[in-house]
Amino acid sequence: MTDVGVSPYGRTCRRPLGVTILAALEIIWGILLVIAALGMFAAAGMIAYDGVPPELMDMVSPDVLQALPMTWVVMGIMFMVFAIIYFALAWGFLKGRNWSRVIVMILLILSIISSILGAIMYGSMNTDTLVSLGISIIIPIIILWYLALNHVANWFHCRERR
């Protein structure tokens, strides 16, 4: 895998270290999602095969227990889909595909909006909530800023990668 290309202006461009780090983080998240999905599938299979543990029967209604395996399978499928998306975005970052940069920037904006709306809907603003809100807004803003920098954007517009 190469990290060198030619910019639209004829200059050689290299993949910025931050792009590589973001791609590595996306790969890590993808792997964690695959592990979580496999855990969901295994748990659903164990409950479907062995039945519900007696300790749970007293704590949860029978309707919920009956739907539990299928719920876990659906969640496992969703985790797998998200893992594939993370792997695709990581590949796009490593190869310098601009679509991956655009998608990540859109997802970051949605994350910021979601954090703000979640804080508003939660209602009470104590110190912990404000710190959590600040972190969940500042990190996406920093990544957005980084992806908008000229030398980073140039990597995604390079052509003729070897």
Mean pLDDT of 23-51: 91
Determine the pLDDT at residue 39: 95
> pLDDT by residue (tens digit) across 107-126?
999 999 998 898 888 777 77
Given a contact cutoff of 8 angstroms between Cβ atoms, the answer to whether 31 and 79 are in contact is no
Distance of alpha carbon 22 from alpha carbon 101, whole angstroms: 11
Q: Please tell me the predicted confidence (pLDDT) of residue 159.
A: 67
The pLDDT score that the predictor gives to residue 10 is 62
Residue 48, pLDDT score? 73
* C-alpha closest to that of 94 among 147, 21, 13: 21
Check residue 133 and give its pLDDT. 86
d(CA 160, CA 92): 15
Indicate the pLDDT class of residue 144, thresholds 50, 70 and 90: very high
Contact (CB, 8 A) for 41 and 70:
no
Output the pLDDT for position 162: 41
Q: Hey, which bits of the chain come out as E strands?
A: 4-6, 12-14
Q: Does the pLDDT value for residue 87 go beyond 60? A: yes
> Does residue 22 have a pLDDT over 70?
yes
Confidence (pLDDT) at 112? 94
Rounded Cα distance, 153 and 44, in Å: 44
pLDDT of amino acid 5? 60
